[in-house]
C-alpha cells in the first residue's frame, strides 16, 4: 500500500453509531429472531438455542470452531453449521444496512464531508482498518465519493490506487465470497480464489438436503462469506486447509498495521480494545513502537471512557477523547 497519513480504525461501536446496526448481545438476539422468521431454518436447533440463551455471538463462533476443527478427528455437522452461521450473519447484516441506508448513510456522509474539510484531509490521505464484517463505511464512502471509491487490498483481485480508499477488514467481510460449486450439486467445495460479490446481488437459497442452512446463489453458483471470529481463536481459522484464507488475512493484517505504523493521524472509532484480543494487542503495540514523533491519536466512543483508559495504559500515548453520539465521530470539539 502507498503511504497514507490518516488511519481510521473502526470497531463495532462505529457501525452502531453511524448506521444503528446491532452489536454484541443485541446482534445475537436479533440474528436469532431474524432466523426464526425465515421460511426454512438457517440454524440447527442447538445453534438457535445457543444464540437465544447465551446472546454471545463471539463465544458461539469460537465454540463451533472448536467442534468443527478438532485437533483429532472430523468436525461432522459442526462444519456445516459454522458455514451456515456465516451465511446467516452476512444476510442479516446486509438486510439491516439496506433498511437504514437512505437516512443514516446520507447523514453520516454529510458529517464526514464536513469533518474532512475541517481537518484538511483528502480522499487520498485516508485508509481504514476495521474489525467489522459489515459495509457501513463502504456505503458512506460511495455516497460521498461515488462508486469505486474504496477497495479491499487483502483480496488479490482488489488493488489500491490513489482514487480509492483502502479498507483493511481484519476479520473478513460479508461481501468476501467463496465459490462453493454448482448450486444444484450436493456438498460444498472450494473451487476458486475468493472474490468480492455483494450479498444484495445474490439470493439466499435453502439447502434442500438439510433441515437447516442456506447458501448465497448467483448464476447457478453457490457462495459462502469469509468471516473469522472477532476475538477468540483467530489463528485456528487461518490454519484451515485453505491456502486462500491464509493469503488473504496475512496480507490484510500485515499491510494494515504497516500502514498504521507510518501514519501520523490515528482515529479509533468505536473500538474498546478488549484485553482478551491478544492478537490485536500485539499488532497495535508493534505499530505504535514505530510511531512518528508527531503522531496524533484520537478515540471516539459513545459509551464511556474505557477505551481511552485502555489505550493510555497499554500504549502510553497522548490521547484526545471524543464521545456522546454520532456527531462526535466527525467532530473537532474535545470533551
Question: Within a 10 A sphere around the Cβ of 177, how many other Cβ atoms?
Answer: 23
> Look-up: residue for cell 484531509?
121
Cα Rg of the chain, angstroms: 20
Task: Please report, for residues 148, 178, 254, 299, the alpha-carbon distance to residue 160 in angstroms, rounded to integers and kept in the order given.
Answer: 11, 21, 15, 26
Phi and psi torsions of 177, nearest 5° = -120, 135
Asked if 130 and 167 count as a contact pair (C-beta separation under 8 A), the reply is yes
pLDDT at 241 over 60: no
Write down the residue that cell numbers 447484516 correspond to.
93
Q: What share of the chain is helix, strand, coil (3-state, %, to 5)?
A: 45, 20, 35
**Exposed e or buried b per residue across 203-215, where buried means at least 16 C-beta atoms within 10 angstroms of its C-beta:** ebbbbeebebbbb
| 222 contacts 184 by C-beta, under 8 angstroms | no
Task: Read off φ and ψ for residue 209, nearest 5 degrees.
Answer: -90, 5
Q: Is 226 helix (H, G, I), strand (E, B) or coil?
A: strand
**Residue 334 pLDDT level (bands cut at 50, 70, 90):** very low
The grid cell for 223 is 457462495
Tell me the per-residue pLDDT of 152-188, one tens digit each, with 9 for 90 and over: 988 866 666 777 999 999 999 999 999 988 887 776 6
Round to whole Å and give the CA distance between 117 and 120: 5
Q: Which helix (H) or strand (E) holds 216?
A: strand 214-218
Q: CB atoms < 10 A from the CB of 231, how many? A: 17
What mean pLDDT value characterizes the chain? 83
Q: Residue 192: what pLDDT?
A: 67
Segment 35-49, tens digit of pLDDT: 888 878 888 888 888
Amino acid at each position: 500500500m502507498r503511504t497514507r497519513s490518516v488511519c481510521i480504525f473502526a470497531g463495532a461501536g462505529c457501525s452502531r453509531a453511524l448506521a444503528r446496526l446491532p452489536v454484541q448481545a443485541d446482534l445475537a438476539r436479533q440474528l436469532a429472531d431474524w432466523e426464526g422468521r425465515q421460511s426454512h431454518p438457517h440454524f440447527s436447533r442447538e445453534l438457535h438455542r445457543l444464540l437465544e440463551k447465551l446472546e454471545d455471538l463471539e463465544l458461539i463462533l469460537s465454540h463451533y470452531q472448536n467442534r468443527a476443527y478438532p485437533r483429532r478427528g472430523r468436525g461432522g455437522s459442526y462444519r456445516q453449521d459454522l458455514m451456515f452461521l456465516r451465511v446467516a450473519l452476512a444476510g442479516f447484516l446486509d438486510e439491516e444496512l439496506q433498511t437504514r441506508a437512505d437516512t443514516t448513510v446520507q447523514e453520516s456522509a454529510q458529517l464526514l464531508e464536513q469533518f474532512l474539510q475541517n481537518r484538511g484531509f483528502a480522499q487520498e490521505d485516508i485508509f481504514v482498518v476495521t474489525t467489522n464484517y459489515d459495509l457501513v463505511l463502504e456505503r458512506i464512502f460511495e455516497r460521498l465519493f461515488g462508486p469505486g471509491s474504496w477497495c479491499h487490498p487483502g483480496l488479490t483481485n482488489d488493488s489500491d490506487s490513489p482514487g480509492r480508499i483502502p479498507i483493511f477488514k481484519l476479520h473478513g467481510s460479508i461481501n468476501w465470497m467463496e465459490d462453493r460449486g454448482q448450486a444444484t450439486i450436493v456438498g460444498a467445495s472450494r473451487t476458486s480464489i475468493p472474490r468480492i460479490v455483494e450479498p444484495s446481488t445474490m439470493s439466499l437459497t435453502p439447502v434442500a438436503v438439510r433441515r437447516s442452512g442456506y447458501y448465497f446463489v448467483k448464476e447457478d453458483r453457490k457462495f459462502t462469506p469469509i468471516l473469522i471470529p472477532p476475538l477468540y481463536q483467530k489463528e485456528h481459522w487461518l490454519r484451515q486447509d485453505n491456502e486462500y484464507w491464509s493469503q488473504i488475512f496475512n496480507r490484510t493484517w500485515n499491510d494494515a498495521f504497516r500502514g498504521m505504523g507510518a501514519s501520523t493521524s490515528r482515529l479509533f472509532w468505536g473500538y474498546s480494545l478488549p484485553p482478551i484480543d491478544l492478537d490485536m494487542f500485539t499488532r497495535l503495540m508493534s505499530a505504535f513502537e514505530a510511531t512518528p514523533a508527531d503522531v496524533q491519536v484520537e478515540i471516539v466512543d459513545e459509551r464511556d471512557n474505557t477505551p481511552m483508559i485502555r489505550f493510555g495504559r497499554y500504549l502510553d500515548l497522548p490521547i484526545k477523547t471524543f464521545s456522546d453520539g454520532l456527531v462526535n465521530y466527525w467532530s473537532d470539539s474535545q470533551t
